[in-house]
Structure 1
Amino acid sequence: MLEVTALGWALTIGVIVALLAIDLLAGWLRPHAVGFAEATAWSVFYIAVAVVFGVVFAGQVGWEYGTEYFAGYIVEKSLSIDNLFVFVIIISTFAVPAEHQHKVLTFGILAALVLRVIFIALGAALLSLFSFMFLIFGLVLIWTAIQLFRHRNEDPDVEDNGLVKVARRVLPTTTDYHDGHLFARVDGRRVATPLFIVLISIAGTDLLFALDSIPAVFGVTEEAYIVFVANAFALLGLRALFFLVKGLLDRLVYLSVGLAVILAFIGVKLILHWAHDLSDAIPTVSTPLSLSVIIGVLVIATVASLIRVRRDPTATAHAGSLRVRPRRDDDRDR
């Protein structure tokens, strides 16, 4: 079992908070539309930081734990890209002006980090108390994978977001962004702006992704510290990555399929882990094999997507949906 001292936790959290502050304050203090060169530079920087941390971490505690970190980081980075896909859909649906998009991303990243920290603590506690939680987590991931594959050609419907429905029902709203304020006064009445509704929608999205991502990363490591740093480093630089990939996401037509395969694989691994505790005759999946499968699936999904788009330029990627909705007339016509 990995032993991390209180000082080690404090230093790690301090470094992550500092890096997160640099990333978020850069957009908050100087609101602007991030260009391709700037987004590339920041994305490369934060990925390099995550890799350097992994190498140093492995050098300190051994490559067994180092491999678990890199496997967890790749899983969470993959899911964060799908999360960005949904962010793009929400921002496009509400036509958020470019100068206000950084606020949406800042809130989305902070909410995602807070929610994942909560679920990491909860997940670690449950796994330490009840071994059958590996079975529960595994079944949840397999169900998620099946739903994601079944609805791989759909996008999440913002109007289905329960938080958005409640907010619109109980609050008077306006269609004007009012210089990026969450609330404004119109005709003497205080109303919520579309930016407030966007943030509510983002919060609901972060909650759903946290529910999926934590069982997924616990599938490659049982160490709470590794789960935390893998999630934290995957979320760092997400703002820059958004501006880098938003024009490329629609080309990753098989991203949802790839993620569905990865989630199903990790779900099976969790179930085998639970069953192995009952009988040594049941095999388990090693972390190096997990890392190889995850990287292999992502490479195949990316290459297949590029080939598909080259052959059919009209092909468009979808984030995939986990919600089963009645088919509408426009769906039947597709």
Structure 2
Amino acid sequence: MMSVGTPLLWSLFAAFVVVALLIDFFAMNKQGAHKVSMKEATIWSLIWVGVSFVFVGFLWWYMGGTGTDASAKQLADTKALEFVTGYVVEKALAVDNIFVFLMLFTYFAVPAEYQKRALMIGILVALVLRGALILVGAWLIAQFHWILYLFGAFLVFTGIKMWLAAGDEPDLEANPALKWVRKHFTIAPNFDGEKFFTKVNGLKMATPMLVVVILIGIIDVVFAVDSIPAIFAITTDPFIILTSNVFAILGLRAMYFLLAGLHEKFHLLPYGLALVLVFIGSKMLLIDIYKIPIEWSLGGTAAILTVTMLLSVMIKPKSDAVHGAFPFDSKKEKDPED
């Protein structure tokens, strides 16, 4: 599979991500456990978005975007646009993660000052697992072109399913991942700071913090099953796919704190995300008949999300439920004895 990722670009990207994470961890440890304010979340969100566009700007320049070679300039423009489109799509689909994270923190009553570390560690796990999924997906497509049709059909099906599930309140109690964690760990009744393990009456137990971190990683990977095929409809270049995914996820923690208090205002957003999945899935199904230009993909995605958010502001929600299709799609009713 052709890729613009040279050894130098891969090395620079890896070094950049490591440095960015170290800076983020250093800043988090220096601040200590604290409740993230809207101002802090806004600043970090802008920083991560800015860093992402600095990276794509460097990539465009490195590939000859400012040169006189017409073919090199065209390739640089195309790859930069693919990155931006992939970044926007992944960022948009990550919004549904945020609604589920909000439900998760509410369910476990995670103190506001501990949420930042839980998200940071959970997202680190998700980055590693996403990277593995992307590499496997790229290899499959390189070997079996028809996989694209399977991905496209899956995205259309998932989009329809998400549309039908939008507005339903997720049932975390019946979630299989939570059941698995409870089966394999003895969980302490209370938090012990930011520790993952504690002792209760001399017995070592996992704290609710460990459960939350594990579930964050699992939830993100399950969502990645939807979002990663979506970006393969935009580009099949492993370097563009991985970099746009990583940059979108790196800013997820800051975006959570920015949007967590606004989830009710954008209550129709799950419908918009469902339409985005159907649109991108349809694009993938038509790839050998008509290749929809990247500009249309970016414009269509932006238009759907903009209209959905505007309608969310104009139309009041019918309930106070936390909206968003939970990835495990558990609709079982709770036991009356619970």
TM-score, normalised with respect to structure 2: 0.89
Q: Structure 1 CA distance, aligned partners of 2:45 and 2:293?
A: 30
Q: Structure 2 CA distance, aligned partners of 1:21 and 1:313?
A: 43
Q: Is residue 299 of structure 1 aligned with residue 313 of structure 2?
A: no
Structure 1 residue 316 displacement after superposition: 5.5
Q: Is residue 260 of structure 1 aligned with residue 267 of structure 2?
A: no
Identical pairs, percent: 35
Q: Structure 1 CA distance, aligned partners of 2:169 and 2:30?
A: 33
Q: Give 2:79's aligned residue.
A: 65
Q: Is residue 321 of structure 1 aligned with residue 326 of structure 2?
A: yes
Structure 1 residue 3 displacement after superposition: 2.8
Q: Give 1:285's aligned residue.
A: 292
* Amino acid across the alignment from 1:164: L
Q: Structure 2 CA distance, aligned partners of 1:288 and 1:313?
A: 35
Q: Is the 8 A contact 1:109 1:235 kept in 2?
A: yes
Q: 3-state DSSP class of the match of 1:178?
A: coil
More displaced, 86-95 or 33-42? 33-42
Q: Give 1:127's aligned residue.
A: 141
Q: Structure 2 CA distance, aligned partners of 1:208 and 1:303?
A: 28
Q: Is residue 308 of structure 1 aligned with residue 322 of structure 2?
A: no
Q: Is residue 157 of structure 1 aligned with residue 171 of structure 2?
A: yes
Q: Is residue 7 of structure 1 aligned with residue 8 of structure 2?
A: yes
Q: Is the 8 A contact 1:2 1:223 kept in 2?
A: yes
Gaps of 5+ in 1: 277-281
Q: Give 1:221's aligned residue.
A: 235
Q: 3-state DSSP class of the match of 2:267?
A: coil
More displaced, 98-107 or 21-30? 21-30
TM-score, normalised with respect to structure 1: 0.90
Structure 1 residue 55 displacement after superposition: 2.8
Q: Is the 8 A contact 2:4 2:237 kept in 1?
A: no
Structure 1 residue 300 displacement after superposition: 0.6
Q: Is residue 36 of structure 1 aligned with residue 38 of structure 2?
A: yes
* Amino acid across the alignment from 2:210: F
Q: Structure 1 CA distance, aligned partners of 2:246 and 2:294?
A: 20
Q: Give 1:202's aligned residue.
A: 216
Q: 1:85 aligns with which of 82, 91, 99?
A: 99
Q: Structure 2 CA distance, aligned partners of 1:326 and 1:316?
A: 14
Gaps of 5+ in 2: 64-75
Q: Is the 8 A contact 2:119 2:213 kept in 1?
A: no
Q: 1:24 to 1:257 in 2, by over 3 A?
A: farther
Q: Give 1:279's aligned residue.
A: none
Structure 1 residue 327 displacement after superposition: 5.7
Structure 1 residue 28 displacement after superposition: 3.4
* Amino acid across the alignment from 1:112: A
Q: Structure 2 CA distance, aligned partners of 1:216 and 1:256?
A: 16
Q: Structure 2 CA distance, aligned partners of 1:160 and 1:25?
A: 37
Q: Structure 2 CA distance, aligned partners of 1:168 and 1:315?
A: 29
Structure 1 residue 81 displacement after superposition: 1.9
Q: 3-state DSSP class of the match of 2:199?
A: strand
Q: Structure 2 CA distance, aligned partners of 1:186 and 1:79?
A: 40
Q: Is the 8 A contact 2:171 2:332 kept in 1?
A: no
Q: Is the 8 A contact 1:171 1:192 kept in 2?
A: yes
* Amino acid across the alignment from 1:245: L
Q: Structure 1 CA distance, aligned partners of 2:218 and 2:44?
A: 27
1:121-156: CA deviation from partner (whole Å, max 9, x where unpaired): 001000000001101111111121111111001243
Q: Structure 1 CA distance, aligned partners of 2:92 and 2:122?
A: 17
Q: Is the 8 A contact 1:253 1:316 kept in 2?
A: no
Q: Structure 2 CA distance, aligned partners of 1:248 and 1:176?
A: 28
Correspondence 1:88-237 to 2 at 5 A? 88-237=102-251
Q: Root-mean-square deviation (CA), in Å?
A: 2.0
Q: 1:221 to 1:155 in 2, by over 3 A?
A: farther
More displaced, 20-29 or 150-159? 20-29
* Number of residue pairs the alignment of both structures matches: 321
